[in-house]
Structure 1
Amino acid sequence: MKGTAAIVGGGVIGGGWTSRFLLNGWNVRVFDPDPEAKRKIGDVLSNARHGLPMLYDCALPPEGALSFHPSIGEAVEGAEWIQESVPECLELKHATLAEIQADCDPLAVIGSSTSGFKPSTLQKGAPRPEQIIVTHPFNPVYLLPLVEVVASGQTAPSILAKTKAILGAMGMHPLIVRAEIDAHIADRLLEAVWRESLWMIDDGIATTQEIDDAIRFGFGLRWAQMGLFETYRIAGGEAGMEHFIRQFGPALQWPWTKLVDVPELTEELIHKLVDLSNAQSGHMTIRELERKRDNNLVAMLRALKQQGSAAGRLLLDHERRLRPALAPAANLMTARRVVPTDWTDLNGHMNESRYGQVFSDAAEAVMALVGADEDYIASGLSYFTVETETKFLAETHAGERFVVHTRVTEGARKKIRCFHEMRRETDGTLLATCDQLMIHVDLAKRRACEPPEEVQQKVEALAALHASAGGLPDA
């Protein structure tokens, strides 16, 4: 699902939305009166181009076209999705939404990035309130999949359905908030932690770094893959949540927190916060911190994808939609992707074990092409690699795009022999080759066996096609 999106407001969130749409193949039209908007969005987009492709084991679609426009009316013209990301000022949002609706398609989604306002508040006085919906993302929008989707009683069901479909098609998780509430769900949870943290800083109990350490070395790691309630269910042991509640429920009566109070943001507390934060992270620029954050998120999300869990499940589902359908061809491209940051070693280039992953993925593409796909393996049959010879010919670094072309050089009886060539996509440099022999096996017996006739015919046809084509052409 691709089309044209308009981004009204090009700050950190607007730039993130721009990147998410653009890198998923949408054309993006931007309006922001800031004369630095193009540069600022360019900085965010640079990070997104570095990070987002690393999450996937296949290529993202070709980028859409990015354009900047002098007025809201011009930016929203012809857009199917319009994302309002102006500052959290209700008067400004009302004025902006009015300008958008004056010129946009009545059937377009108008999503607001608001972190606090309810949709009914935004819709007040609008000529078409049914078109406006809250779509609150999380920074960085191009990596984090969560979007809180909040509709009001006036929001059209078709707009809600379209919102869910578009966000899902971009690998995001539209969390439908059941009822309107100020600050939705996630920010209300975050504010509770934020308020208690301010009290501990104001009372001299902890520094900004100590509070961050408590989160990132402890419960933050659990929350990243299980959330709050699954984590506490496990904490209850074999008896689960009931035991946890009975054991720790009385603590709710103890004066552990000050959530009913708000510390006064005095100049003294503000200066204290700023000084502590500078001491913690002032040695790095914001761009350096963003890149560090993005690399960490890529590594964590890829680990979750390997387990098929939490946000990793979203990536797997999105990746399946992104993979092009493979058809028999003389020039068979079996992989096209970006080298993720967690594939590099101390020398700064791709670790040799990762080449094995690349060629294994290429071989699985060949297997699927001849009918030995996931369903085939679930039926009890597969191909096992019994021999490889890999040659490393040039360095490969994180962020580089590469393609693999494969030729089936042998396809008789139980055997499939593949010859893979891995090339840098930008200049065609040959990076590595692999000669790989696979044998058909019965998974129940864990022994070699003949493949079914329909699979064997496809293997033989592919081998014959590649034999007639000769060597692999240059990429």
Structure 2
Amino acid sequence: IQESVPERLDIKHRILADIQAHCREDALIGSSTSGFKPSELQEGAARPEQIFVAHPFNPVYLLPVIELVGVEATLLSARDVLDSIGMKPLIVRKEIDAHIADRFLEAVWREALWLIKDGIATTQEIDDVIRFGFGMRWAQMGLFETYRIAGGEAGMRHFIAQFGPCLSWPWTKLMDVPELTDELTDMIADQSDAQSGMHSIRELERIRDDNLVSIMRALKPRNWGAGELLNAQDARNTPPLPADIDHPLKTLERVIPVDWMDYNSHMNESRYGQVFSDAGDVVMRMVGADQAYIDGGLSYFTVSNEITYLNETHLGDVIHVRTQVLEARGKKLRLYHEMIRTTDSGLLATCNQLLLHVSLKTRKSCEPEGEVLARITALGEAQSKLPKPASMRD
């Protein structure tokens, strides 16, 4: 049973008492409170040990972590339930106002308000510092593992020795900090060793970098934050339609990233589809069917892809795609792509792609318009004289 009423202790006491009057004695009663301690929630309760803090994070249907505070036996039962539904329950060792996460958020919030009040930064600038900077590191490595890397091979003790004195400087409005005694330094360093000592700093750096690449790439389809930045760079890197178009076009060149690998340690088959889709998008932009054209209500839809897998593709492989236009007539555009490993010219896969020009208003096929029609017609005529690709099946 989860209580999620407003942060007023009198209301919570009344609701919790009502719940206990009607529920089983062995029921688990969690509270979503952001700040109250379980001892405060349990005041006057018929069965205080039944009530505990179960503090989730919005959106709760996406973010898995949930802070648990209360009686150990109750928390262990709650942890089992939360584990079973895919959550990440975190048992807080001691009760404290605002638990763990909200204490961090409160500190950051106060400092952000000072930066705004003093005219140092705007809300946009503060958000950008987080979105494009340390927020991405925190998202996949947290605070102490990030700082462990900053300490280099000497580890956490070196980091504290190097940066610890900064805590006494007037960098922030939050000057109430613990004295960094040898005992505290040893405690932090020992806990850091237990947490991450199985990895060298170089291994942690590789893990961090691979994770960052995956996070940034994951934001691309949503065109958000760092993903928007990468999409803009991709658009800038799209070559124009070359003057000499009577030969196959080089439509893509890239390195195979870590998040494209599957359990067989080679590129997952779905990523071949992405490679050829990206190559087709480049052809679209070359002939002028770019974002502005799409915003005007016209585009190309893929009708079919016939992909043939010929050789394995591995992490770090440099590949390029060679594209030949087989047909560009009216609303039909047929492309033949060859995915080639650049280092040895090995053919990895091919794709026969059929696209139709479509009105985004009617969702039906239609003829291309204006400059796009002229360019696609010229491209089709120039490549119609080319022989059929040697790798193409009859």
Partner residue, 2:343: 426
Matched ranges for 1:22-41 at <5 A = none
**Residue 370 of structure 1 is aligned with which of 287, 293, 298?**
287
Give the letter for the 1:414 counterpart: K
Cα distance, 1:464 vs structure 2? 2.4
Structure 1: which 4+ aligned runs deviate by more than 6 Å? none
Work out whether residues 240 and 286 of structure 2, in 8 Å CA contact, stay in contact via their aligned partners in 1.
Answer: no
Work out whether residues 238 and 285 of structure 2, in 8 Å CA contact, stay in contact via their aligned partners in 1.
Answer: no
Matched ranges for 1:384-463 at <5 A = 384-452=301-369, 454-463=371-380
What is the CA–CA distance in structure 2 between the aligned matches of 1:211 and 1:318, rounded to whole Å? 30
What is the CA–CA distance in structure 1 between the aligned matches of 2:143 and 2:239, rounded to whole Å? 45
Work out whether residues 405 and 472 of structure 1, in 8 Å CA contact, stay in contact via their aligned partners in 2.
Answer: no
Give the letter for the 1:300 counterpart: I
Cα distance, 1:297 vs structure 2? 0.5
Cα distance, 1:473 vs structure 2? 9.1
Partner residue, 1:278: 193
Cα distance, 1:425 vs structure 2? 1.2
**Residue 301 of structure 1 is aligned with which of 207, 216, 229?**
216
Cα distance, 1:471 vs structure 2? 4.9
Cα distance, 1:261 vs structure 2? 2.7
What SS does structure 2 have at the residue aligned with 1:367?
helix
User: Structure 2 unaligned runs (5+)?
Assistant: 1-117, 131-140, 146-172
What SS does structure 1 have at the residue aligned with 2:385?
helix
What is the CA–CA distance in structure 1 between the aligned matches of 2:267 and 2:223, rounded to whole Å? 24
Cα distance, 1:276 vs structure 2? 1.0
Give the letter for the 1:340 counterpart: P
What is the CA–CA distance in structure 2 between the aligned matches of 1:210 and 1:380, rounded to whole Å? 44
Cα distance, 1:178 vs structure 2? 6.9
Q: Which has the larger radius of gyration?
A: 2
Give percent identity, aligned residues only.
50
| 1:345 maps onto 2:239 in alignment | no
Q: Residues 370, 391 of structure 1: CA spacing in aligned structure 2 closer, same or farther, 3 A cutoff?
A: same
Work out whether residues 417 and 438 of structure 1, in 8 Å CA contact, stay in contact via their aligned partners in 2.
Answer: yes
Work out whether residues 328 and 377 of structure 2, in 8 Å CA contact, stay in contact via their aligned partners in 1.
Answer: yes
Per the normalisation by structure 1, the TM-score is 0.45
Partner residue, 1:261: 176
Work out whether residues 238 and 282 of structure 2, in 8 Å CA contact, stay in contact via their aligned partners in 1.
Answer: no
Q: How many residues get paired?
A: 232
What SS does structure 2 have at the residue aligned with 1:273?
helix
Cα distance, 1:210 vs structure 2? 9.8
What is the CA–CA distance in structure 2 between the aligned matches of 1:401 and 1:366, rounded to whole Å? 20
What is the CA–CA distance in structure 2 between the aligned matches of 1:210 and 1:468, rounded to whole Å? 58
User: Structure 1 unaligned runs (5+)?
Assistant: 1-176, 190-208, 214-257
Greater RCO, 1 or 2 (C-alpha within 8 Å, sep 6+): 1
**Residue 287 of structure 1 is aligned with which of 196, 199, 202?**
202
Which whole-Å deviations, capped at 9, do the CAs of 1:139-171 have from their partners, x for residues lacking one? Answer: xxxxxxxxxxxxxxxxxxxxxxxxxxxxxxxxx
Work out whether residues 307 and 350 of structure 2, in 8 Å CA contact, stay in contact via their aligned partners in 1.
Answer: yes
Cα distance, 1:269 vs structure 2? 1.7
What is the CA–CA distance in structure 2 between the aligned matches of 1:280 and 1:341, rounded to whole Å? 24
Q: Residues 458, 324 of structure 1: CA spacing in aligned structure 2 closer, same or farther, 3 A cutoff?
A: closer
Per the normalisation by structure 2, the TM-score is 0.53
Cα distance, 1:341 vs structure 2? 1.3
**Residue 332 of structure 1 is aligned with which of 240, 246, 249?**
249
What is the CA–CA distance in structure 2 between the aligned matches of 1:368 and 1:411, rounded to whole Å? 15
Work out whether residues 390 and 433 of structure 1, in 8 Å CA contact, stay in contact via their aligned partners in 2.
Answer: yes
Work out whether residues 381 and 442 of structure 1, in 8 Å CA contact, stay in contact via their aligned partners in 2.
Answer: yes
Q: Quick check: 258-267 or 422-431, which moved more?
A: 258-267
Matched ranges for 1:17-56 at <5 A = none
Partner residue, 1:465: 382
Cα distance, 1:289 vs structure 2? 0.6
Matched ranges for 1:187-206 at <5 A = none
Q: Residues 317, 270 of structure 1: CA spacing in aligned structure 2 closer, same or farther, 3 A cutoff?
A: same
Work out whether residues 404 and 420 of structure 1, in 8 Å CA contact, stay in contact via their aligned partners in 2.
Answer: yes
What is the CA–CA distance in structure 1 between the aligned matches of 2:372 and 2:177, rounded to whole Å? 68
